[in-house]
Amino acid sequence: MAQRGKGNAKIKVKDLNLFYGEKQALFGVSLDINEKEVTALIGPSGCGKSTFLRTLNRMNDLIDSVKITGDIIINDENIYTSSDVIKLRTKVGMVFQKPNLFPMSIYDNVAYGPRGQGIKNKKELDKIVEESLRGAAIWDEVKDRLKTSALGLSGGQQQRVCIARAIAMKPDVILMDEPTSALDPISTLKVEELITQMKEDFTIVIVTHNMQQAARISDKTAFFLNGEVVEYDETDNIFSTPKDQRTEDYVTGRFG
């Protein structure tokens, strides 16, 4: 049995290859992602960051042409040999680039997942909704308008409600695909602060194009290039003393 707790491997990826039809998009990716840390995935456009992120909760399964080899172990279970994809997606939640709330109230957005799991009791749902919105640092801003449309919120608020919606499923891992790229600088800062708080409770993997963001919020950083992981290390090392020339060129803005 693997150890549990902060700093131990929560996700183990071994020799992962991914093909879209004939085209190979990931080449022999192997890395361990630590529990209750923030892991950033960086690299130029098209290098496979989002593809890799989506392998962690089997989102690529939705694309017919995708073929995957290798292993991904989460909580000691190989997610590609286990058939329970619904349970996997409950444990490994996802937040997308653009807020994608449903056209319904703030309350109903956050309660949507728990209701789908069969929770109908109003008191219980109220508690989950409040805890999730507090967990996403947006409770105070929305507590008096829970029954109004979520689409009336600002983009930054909507993104935090999306994070609350993910938290409501009580996941272990939260995947974030460029969660601040559609936000203004102040909303971005709020989401970054939120991510830093959230790692107390969750393992977070985030794709970002923003190098300062990776440096500010992540513990470890993986640099992807052409579908390969060139370098994976403590974030401080990646940004101050990278071992590979290509990493150095990228983090100093020489390409990408």
Q: Give the binding site for ligand ATP (CB under 6 A).
A: 20, 25, 43, 45-51, 63
Return the DSSP state at 48. S
Instruction: Indicate the residue among 27 and 139 with the shorter CB distance to ligand ATP.
Output: 27
Cβ(195)–Cβ(203) below 8 Å:
no
Instruction: Indicate the residue among 45 and 81 with the shorter CB distance to ligand ATP.
Output: 45
Q: Closest approach of Cβ 169 to ligand ATP, in Å? A: 24
Q: Helical H runs in the chain?
A: 49-55, 85-91, 106-116, 122-135, 139-142, 155-167, 185-198, 211-217, 235-240, 245-251
Read off φ and ψ for residue 128, nearest 5 degrees. Answer: -65, -45
Instruction: Indicate the residue among 27 and 112 with the shorter CB distance to ligand ATP.
Output: 27
Alpha-carbon distances of 137 from 104, 171, 235, rounded to whole Å: 20, 17, 25
Q: Closest approach of Cβ 221 to ligand ATP, in Å? A: 14
Instruction: Indicate the residue among 18 and 142 with the shorter CB distance to ligand ATP.
Output: 18
Cβ(31)–Cβ(1) below 8 Å:
no
What's the CA gap between 139 and 134, in Å, rounded? 5
What's the CA gap between 101 and 153, in Å, rounded? 10
Q: Closest approach of Cβ 123 to ligand ATP, in Å? A: 42
Q: Closest approach of Cβ 245 to ligand ATP, in Å? A: 20
Q: Closest approach of Cβ 94 to ligand ATP, in Å? A: 14
Q: Closest approach of Cβ 29 to ligand ATP, in Å? A: 12
Instruction: Indicate the residue among 63 and 86 with the shorter CB distance to ligand ATP.
Output: 63
Instruction: Indicate the residue among 23 and 123 with the shorter CB distance to ligand ATP.
Output: 23
